[in-house]
Amino acid sequence: MRKRIVSWLLRLYPKVWRNEYGAELADMLRARPLTAGVCSDVVFSAMWQRARATQASTWVGLGLMFAVIAAIVSNIASAPAYQESVLPEHLELLQKPLRSEFYVLILCGIGFWTAVTGAGSSGRAAMRASLIASIPIALTGLLMLIGILEYVEVLPGQIATSVQSRGIVYTFYKGIQQIPGPAPLTLLLAPLLRLPGAWLWGTIGGSLGRKYVNWRRPISA
């Protein structure tokens, strides 16, 4: 039983860390009683090592994901009124959280940082962040497909329907020349559909990062 517990504890650590320090930690754990305090210290240390080993693009993707969740929740809980003929910037960001210029700049920044630090492929790093950030959109599409979440289209001058009056409703602000409301299947496939664009912006940022590294590199005599 002790060996099984030690094995479970070791698996909490990243693979690279286990390959280098796993045998030493296993010997230490087998040589002392596995009290609740010892196990909790090992678990905390493993989570810390996991956090340290997590790539920057993953953290950025998580940040974007929570921003998208906040936008979706605010839309459902208290959708603002649509009082202008042109879609205001705050509603544009609320409706298309992953199509803003800010989102593109973040993907380029991820590619740039990845190239500068030499942490891997810039395109793949941007794709990882985009994939994580798109998870709430995919879940929104899934909820629409199974009938838990509805959406209502609001035209300029209309007041958005509240969650209290129609249940769980996502408000889509439809402009005069905008496409129809969101297609649930398209939302569900959003993580995959956004990968090519994410790779492109990450690659562009990576190209700029490599040029920056070459510019900073001292010229040998």
Per-residue pLDDT at 15? 77
Helix (H) or strand (E) holding 120: none
Q: How far apart are CA 128 and CA 115, in angstroms?
A: 15
Per-residue pLDDT at 221? 44
161 φψ region: left (φ > 0), alpha (ψ -120 to 50), beta (else): beta
Contact (Cβ atoms closer than 8 angstroms) between residue 12 and residue 46: yes
pLDDT per position as a tens digit, 169-184:
777 777 644 555 567 8
Contact (Cβ atoms closer than 8 angstroms) between residue 55 and residue 142: no
Per-residue pLDDT at 200? 93
Low-confidence ranges of the chain (pLDDT < 50): 164, 176-177, 220-221
Asked whether the whole model's pTM tops 0.85, one would answer: no
- The domain locations on the chain are 2-53, 56-216
pLDDT per position as a tens digit, 9-32:
888 877 777 888 788 888 888 887
Residue 116, SS3 per DSSP: helix
Per-residue pLDDT at 110? 92
Q: How far apart are CA 72 and CA 187, in angstroms?
A: 13
Contact (Cβ atoms closer than 8 angstroms) between residue 94 and residue 74: yes
